[in-house]
Structure 1
Amino acid sequence: MLDDFLVRAGLAGIGTALTAAPLGCFVVWRRMAYFGDATAHAALLGVAMSLALQGPIMLGVLCAALLMALMVQTLSGRGLAEDTLLGVAAHSALAVGLVAVSFLSGVRVDLMAYLFGDILAVSKTDLAVIWGGAAVVIGLMLWRWHRLLTATLNPDLAQASGISFRTEQLVITIALAITVAVAIKAVGALLIGALLVIPPAAARPLARTPEVMALLTALIGSVAAIAGLGAAFQFDTPTGPTIVCVAAGIFTITTLVGRFGRQTG
């Protein structure tokens, strides 16, 4: 019989994978990997704000991630290259968050837990938050799926159909902020970006349609979460990084399979 904390950790890992799956596909399609990193790094600043104001951690992280994403979206294309702006935003947010935490006197903060996650310490309340966030993000993606897909894959058709690129970008921004807020407990700020990019990148060589890619991404993310949790428990390694290592291994395998299939096809 599995221990309760392992069951909770497994459910948290699957919930995080399902939250990141549909959003991660759009992150890959739109080449927004650094955008996801910048939003995730802002989470630490949200943690500092929450502790300073004695408010809920998740609310602070959600606000900080959303503000960062909106700021980057607003400033992009106004004199700075987008990758330069994202680089400045990502590293600045992380640095400011770390400095802000150091000023919190009388508050004991486990920075490693917020940077790399502590999935084994997930409580039933955390589980409810993670799965609630998954339901919101998946519902949002399903509601806007066709519009998001059209705006992403065929901007000209989207414009002709009256679909606003900026509106759909805002939907992705909100979903990304929610994902960061619910996932920080499980995998931490530094590893959220990896879960947004690696599973969809691993699914891409095997998928022929966007819908199949989204489903495969959810499956790969869930398998990586469970296998990584099992490996971390077996070999006594950090759980969050181990999950990402398993996902990276799956990516390597699917990439090789995809190239072999193209060569023999």
Structure 2
Amino acid sequence: MLDDFFFRAILAGLGVALVAGPLGSFVVWRRMAYFGDSTAHAAILGVAMALAFDISIYAGTLAVATAMAVLVSALVSRGQAMDTMLGVLSHSALAVGLVAISFVPSARSDLTSYLFGDILAVGRSDLVLIWTGAAVVLAMLILRWQRLVTSSLNEELAMAAGIDPRLERLALSLALAITVALAIRVVGSLLISALLIVPAAAARGWARTPERMAAAATLIAGLSVVSGLWASLRLDTPAGPSIVTAAAIFFVLSQGLRRA
């Protein structure tokens, strides 16, 4: 019989998968992979600040991830070269975070869990925060779905329809920051972007509408969580990387089935 910690891990992973599917679809549509990286990598600095000031890890990562998301969104709105700017911010944020966390003795021995996740250590309070945050992000995506889709596919069309693309980009940025804060215990800061992008990329070739792609990406993300955790339990492998590996396998299978 499986232990309670494994069921808590599955529930935590499914909570993140619930928002990773639709949000990852927007990341793929908008080609925001580096955007996700820069926000996720900044979470390490948030961890260092949280431990240094003895506050919640979720609060620290959310604050820093939100600041990074708003900064990147503002720079992109001003016409900065997206790929270059996001690349600089992504790697710089990770480097600064690792340097900062080296000054926190209590974090040095547990650095791997922040980089690659520690989903098996999720407690009941973590589950409450993860599912509450997931509900907030999902509600925002549902309420703004048509606006977000229109501005993602064609910004000129969105402006003609009275939609401000900058506002929608900011809304996505904030949703991404919340998701990063939620997912750091599940897959860690280095793999959050993968959980967003890989299921959405796997679903892209099979869905004919945005809604179907978001639903398929959510399903693949959920299956990746369950199968990755099962493999981690059976093979004694790290849980976070196992989840992302399962997602990568689903992506390869989806490409193979498309060509068959």
TM-score by length of 1: 0.95
Query: What is the distance in 1 between the residues matched to 2:78 and 2:160?
Result: 26
Could you tell me the percent identity over the aligned residues?
Answer: 58
What's the secondary structure of 2:120's corresponding residue? helix
Which deviates more, 74-83 or 139-148?
A: 74-83
Report SS of the residue matched to 1:84. Answer: helix
Residues 99-134 of structure 1: CA deviation (Å, up to 9, x unaligned) = 111112466651100000011111011111111111
Contact preservation (8 Å) 1:22, 1:217:
yes
Deviation at 1:190, TM superposition (A): 0.4
- Measured on the aligned residues, the alpha-carbon RMSD in Å equals 1.3
Instruction: Indicate yes or no: 2:18 matched with 1:18.
Output: yes
Match in the other structure for 1:84: 84
Alignment match, 2:152: 152
1:177: which partner in 2?
A: 177
Q: For each residue in 1:219-243, what CA deviation from the matched residue of structure 2 results, as whole angstroms up to 9, or x when unmatched?
A: 1000010000000110111111011
**Whole-Å separation in 1 of the counterparts to 2:79 and 2:174:** 25
1:245 lines up with 2:241 in the alignment: no
Instruction: Give structure 2 stretches of 5+ with no counterpart.
Output: none
- Match of 1:54, SS state, is coil
User: In structure 2, do the counterparts of structure 1 residues 245 and 108 end up closer, same or farther at CA, with 3 Å as the change threshold?
Assistant: closer
Q: Tell me the equivalent position of 2:53.
A: 53
- Contact 1:19 1:133 (C-alpha < 8 Å) held by counterparts: no
Q: Distance between the aligned counterparts of 1:67 and 1:154, measured in 2?
A: 26
- Residue type matched to 2:62 in 1? L
Q: 1:107 to 1:45 in 2, by over 3 A?
A: closer
Matches within 5 A, 1:1-265: 1-76=1-76, 80-105=80-105, 109-260=109-260
Structure 2 distance, partners of 1:81, 1:155, is 17
What stretches of structure 1 move > 3 A for 4+ residues in a row? Answer: 77-80, 105-109
| Partners of 1:13 and 1:186 within 8 A in 2 | yes
Letter of the structure 2 residue corresponding to residue 240 of structure 1: G
Are the aligned partners of 1:101 and 1:109 in contact in 2 as well (CA < 8 Å)?
Answer: no
From the superposition, tell whether residues 106 and 248 of structure 1 become closer, same or farther in structure 2 (CA, over 3 Å).
closer
Q: Encode CA deviations 1:62-100: one digit per residue, 9 max, x unaligned.
A: 010011111112223657521111111111111111111
Aligned pair count reads 260
Q: Aligned to 2:2, what secondary structure does the other structure show?
A: coil
Structure 1 CA distance for aligned equivalents of residues 41 and 191 of structure 2: 10
Deviation at 1:154, TM superposition (A): 2.4
**Distance verdict in 2 for CA 1:59–1:218, change over 3 Å:** same
**CA shift at 1:156, angstroms?**
2.2
Does the residue aligned with 2:13 lie in a helix, a strand or coil?
helix
Q: What is the distance in 2 between the residues matched to 1:107 and 1:212?
A: 41
Offset of residue 56 of structure 1: 1.3
Give the TM-score, by structure 2 length: 0.96
Alpha-carbon distance between aligned partners in 2 of 1:139 and 1:152, rounded to the nearest angstrom = 18
Rounded Cα–Cα distance in structure 2 between residues aligned with 1:42 and 1:225: 24
Q: 1:43 is matched by which residue type in structure 2?
A: A
2:61 partner letter: V
Using the alignment, how far apart are the partners of 1:57 and 1:106 within structure 2? 13
Read off the aligned partner of 1:2 and give its amino acid letter: L
Q: Which secondary structure state, in structure 1, belongs to the residue aligned with residue 237 of structure 2?
A: coil
- Closer, same or farther: CA 106–36 of 1 in aligned 2, 3 Å: closer
